[in-house]
Structure 1
Amino acid sequence: MRTPSSILAAVTTATLACGLTAPVAFAADGEGTKLNLAEETGSAATGASATSGGSIVRTIVGLAIVLAVIYGLHWVLKQVKTSKDADESGDSLETVATLNLAPNRSLHLVRVGGEIVLLGAAEHQITPIRRYSEAEATALGLLEPPAMTLASLEAETAAPKGLMNLIRAKAVAK
């Protein structure tokens, strides 16, 4: 199985080889032909403009290739970093919040499975300070409340309608 670093090395080598050989591929046989330096009025002017136009096209194509290689390497490196980050942390470990207290000292709120753990990190040690269940952490405001389901959303929209009817009934009665 190939590792991400070996894949990155292969992609880098291939793009570098293509990038170095691209100018040769775009260069026509005009490199080997002899120049006609005779002073001709009409044909010399059109030949010079055609040559300069060709070099502008080659320059633009070369620039596009270089930009494509740079973008491709950026994308590959981002994908490798994302896969490494996902492999290192796993699914059951997630940093919820971090608070820096001083240089080399901080508090971390970490979700470990179904628990929330408050950790104190110093220069040479990490100390668990307190463990919370998810319900306790949500009640204390350490976590965002869970996303609303369709049933809870319908119940919430039904409540104001009843409340508004109650207010209207009391306002009309006065």
Structure 2
Amino acid sequence: MADYGDAEDEFEDALEVIPAHCKMDLNTALADSKIAIHLFFNNKFDEAQLILEPWVGTSMYHTIGRSIFQFLEAVLTFEQTSIQRASASLKSSIRLCNSYRRKTTLTQSIGNIMKKPNYDTYTPDELHAELCFAEALLLRALLTFIEDETLVSFIRAGIKIRSCYNSYKYVFHS
């Protein structure tokens, strides 16, 4: 029979940060996004959100999917709270996509102006990040027209649209 009174138990604290092995792969993210879009267009908005919500902030497609749903709500309702929520969501999508995009140095950026970047060296995640970045940037620019109707706002939105056009062009040529 074991003696439980004399043994000193050792306990470990729970992890502060969830390990990185809980990442979503690209194919699963695309499959989840297709299901969420299908549910969304069949008026099952809550079910679509439930599919996306657990991975928002870690998966590009889940994050951009939620942003698109919030963008559509903002455009259709014109409520200020919906517009602000969509704007914040799109900003977080842009930040997340930027973290997945290929990092370039200053000299590489200047070199890309002179010659086209070699997209054959890009990973699928980096190419999808470019596409998602352009999508989020375009939606953010369109939302700028709704948020603020001043001349400065229109100029800022035009610059954002040009930037996302360049991103789309890069992805198209790859």
TM-score scaled by length of structure 2: 0.24
The structure with more radius of gyration: 1
| More strand, by proportion | 1
Larger RCO: 1 or 2 (CA < 8 Å, sep 6+): 2
